[in-house]
Amino acid sequence: MRALLLAALLFVGCSTPPPQAPASRSPGPLPELSIYHLPGAWTDQDGKELTLPELRGKVRLLAMVYTSCPQACPRIIADMKSIDEDLRKRHPAGVELVLVTFDPETDTPERLRQLADEQKLDPRWRLIRGDSQQVQELAAVLGVKYRKVSATDFAHSNLITVLDADGVVVHQQEGLGVERSRSIDAVEKALTSCCSEEEGP
């Protein structure tokens, strides 16, 4: 797991010096407000299982989407990409990005893999699914509203969440194609307070 993350980092940021192992930080207990307190196992686009506490240690952008979403979700992903591109001008390693599906019934790991390929998402993106209870609880902590409106469609709020390295929500951007500077500021602040050793000189 760690090795993979490391490999992913090296892959995307060739010019950066080898980062220190994340394990060198002594993490201590999760902060009270960390969303990583949520229990349960999730599966990613490669069929790998993970629990939320494993996401600790990186600043992340997270959004909830579903693969058969016709309009809003591709735009959420586009907004995340644009935040990430902007950040990588100053932080070559960028951030890690997480997409969580509203629709675990339809969105198998294969479907998630397919979305990742279509959208040309690099390995810093984790596309994950849980059971409907987990999805409901994650949406609840994030304040994401959603409702199944037909066999294939969900109504949902469009929310990109910035999580600090401990999984605490530090910023949320609501709407599509909105001004992204505040999200970028929030990520940069979170990066300086936690992950400075992973940035280039």
Partner 1 sequence: MLVLTAMLLLTLAPPPGMVKVSGGSYAPLYAREDDRIAVGPFLLDRYAVTNEQFREFVRAHPEWRRSKVKRVFADVRYLGHWTGDLDFDPALAKSPVTHVSWFAARAYARSLGKRLPTQAEWELAGSASEKRADGTLEPGFSRRILDWYARPTRPALPPVGSTYRNYYGVYDMHGLVWEWVDDFQTTMVGGESRGGGDGDLFCGAAAADARDRSDYARFMRYAFRSSLKARYTLANLGFRCALDLPSGKKP
Other Cβ atoms closer than 10 A to 168:
16
Q: Does 151 bind partner 1 (CB under 8 A)?
A: no
Asked if 171 contacts 160 with a C-beta cutoff of 8 angstroms, the reply is no
CB 155, min distance to partner 1, A: 4
* Piece in contact with partner 1 (CB under 8 A), picked from 89-97, 103-111, 123-131, 172-180: 172-180
Q: Does 41 bind partner 1 (CB under 8 A)?
A: no
Among residues 175, 192, 193, 200, the one that binds partner 1 under rule CB under 8 A: 175
* Piece in contact with partner 1 (CB under 8 A), picked from 45-53, 83-91, 114-122, 175-183: 175-183
Q: Does 145 bind partner 1 (CB under 8 A)?
A: yes
CA angle, residues 13, 115, 53, in degrees to nearest 5? 60
C-beta closer to partner 1: residue 77 or 93:
77
Q: Does 119 bind partner 1 (CB under 8 A)?
A: no
In terms of Cα–Cα distance, which of 60, 93, 92 is closest to 165?
60
Q: What is the CA radius of gyration of the chain?
A: 16
* Piece in contact with partner 1 (CB under 8 A), picked from 7-15, 80-88, 150-158, 188-196: 150-158
Q: State how far the alpha carbon of 63 is from the alpha carbons of 23, 79, 163, 174, in Å.
A: 26, 10, 11, 10
- Report helix, strand or coil for 191: helix
* Piece in contact with partner 1 (CB under 8 A), picked from 32-40, 105-113, 115-123, 187-195: 32-40
Burial class (CB in 10 A: 0-12, 13-18, 19+), 153: middle
The residues that touch partner 1, with contacts defined as CB under 8 A, are 32-35, 37, 69-73, 136-137, 139-141, 143-147, 149-150, 153-158, 173-178
